[in-house]
Amino acid sequence: MPAKPIGQRSAEALAGQLGTTAVRFTHLDDAVTVLDPEVRNSLAVVTGFGPTNAPTAGTLSVMLGAVELQRRLHAPMTVVISDLGAWNSRNVPWSTLVRVRDQMFAFLAALGLDVDKAHLRSHLDHDNLIRAGRIARYLSRSDFQENRESLLELYADHGLLGSETGVVVDSLYTVADVLAPFDSGATNILMVSGMEEAYFTDLARLVLNRQAEAGDLSLGWSGQIGALYFRVLEGFAGYPKMSKSIPVSSIHLNMAPSEIADRIMSDDEASQPAILSAIELSSGWDGTDVDRARVAFVERAVHPDAWRKVRREFGDTFVQFAGLWQECAP
């Protein structure tokens, strides 16, 4: 079942199951089924982050969403920092990946993730490496060609990608991440990610279905995979996504306060929608303050001072998150 925008009926069902966290998601893929209260005791949640750089506002929004989701669902959650996957698929030094990985682990805990109840790990995981090796037999080269990241060409144009084989290896590790709860007895898995990573869900389902039909070559897994996709935070300067791999598109937590202020207070019109989205998703503000920001954005041509004030306040908030990130440095 391909991912589709959340309609009114699905939105109502998700709101009943996830509360206000549901508004963070724009697309779903059989998520309502795996979130059904009748199967909740066999549910496991999988999400993850790439450690290529400090979190952008977009990555921060997903981290905050993961914390909210854990509190709401009370289900086993695995959070993967994809160090080895990123090493293969991106042109980033290993020392950087290790440092950012460890900082992300500490930062997630500082944001409120209950690390005693969540399984935080990286791709340097013996069980997952074995699992990746075992599922490779069920996938073909054409599967990876037909199911690939939508922004792959954009990253390639910026010289950010590793080798073609490395990109496939990264996908294999991540598909193994999605399927991991089946090894622990789960029968309903909820994959939570950005929409651009929906292809991992599709590849995981291919493996699940093919191994089930493989007779003596089956892994013995049975169940279903659902997915929820976070709203993509658009990038500054007109980029389709705020990406840490494309610095001009984003603000991130390694920036100095003056850099954060310059980016947020810029009057570049192409960046204004992205600033509002960052406020909505990564500020941690309550509904009243977010609504105030929306009004100021809509009326910015008539009342520019109100929009500048909101942006300044968001800059202060983001600087606070940046300070917390620095405190988590290994």
Count of the separate structural domains present in the chain = 2
State whether 152 and 78 are in the same domain: yes
| Domain around 290 | 251-327
Write out pLDDT tens, residues 263-274.
999 999 999 999
Secondary structure (DSSP) of 69-108? HHHHH---EEEEE-HHHHHHHB---HHHHHHHHHHHHHHH
Q: Looking at 184-299, list the stretches that DSSP marks H as alpha helix, in order from N- to C-terminal side.
A: 198-212, 257-265, 272-282, 287-298
**Least confident range of 55-69, 168-182, 233-247, 296-310:** 233-247
State whether 206 and 323 are in the same domain: no
Q: What are the distances in angstroms from CA 25 to CA 168, 275, 282, 294, 325?
A: 27, 18, 14, 19, 25
Q: Which of 198, 230, 262 is the last residue of a domain?
A: 230
Write out pLDDT tens, residues 210-261.
999 999 999 999 999 999 999 988 899 888 888 766 778 889 999 999 999 9
Which pair of structure tokens corresponds to residue 290?
Answer: 């977010």
State whether 225 and 268 are in the same domain: no
The SS3 assignment for 259 reads helix
Give me the half-sphere count of Cα atoms (radius 13 Å) on the Cβ side of residue 167: 18
Write out pLDDT tens, residues 250-259.
899 999 999 9
State whether 305 and 203 are in the same domain: no
Q: Taking 70 as the threshold, does the pLDDT of residue 158 lie above it?
A: no
pLDDT of residue 157: 44
241 belongs to a structural domain:
no
What residues contact 312, with CB distance under 8 A and at least 6 apart? 261, 264, 265
CATH number at residue 139: 3.40.50.620
Q: How far apart are CA 286 and CA 280, in angstroms?
A: 9
State whether 25 and 159 are in the same domain: yes
Q: Which of 230, 262, 283 is the last residue of a domain?
A: 230
The model scores a pTM over 0.85:
yes
How does the average pLDDT of the chain come out, rounded? 92
State whether 174 and 106 are in the same domain: yes
Of the pLDDT bands very low, low, confident and very high (cuts 50, 70, 90), residue 45 is: very high
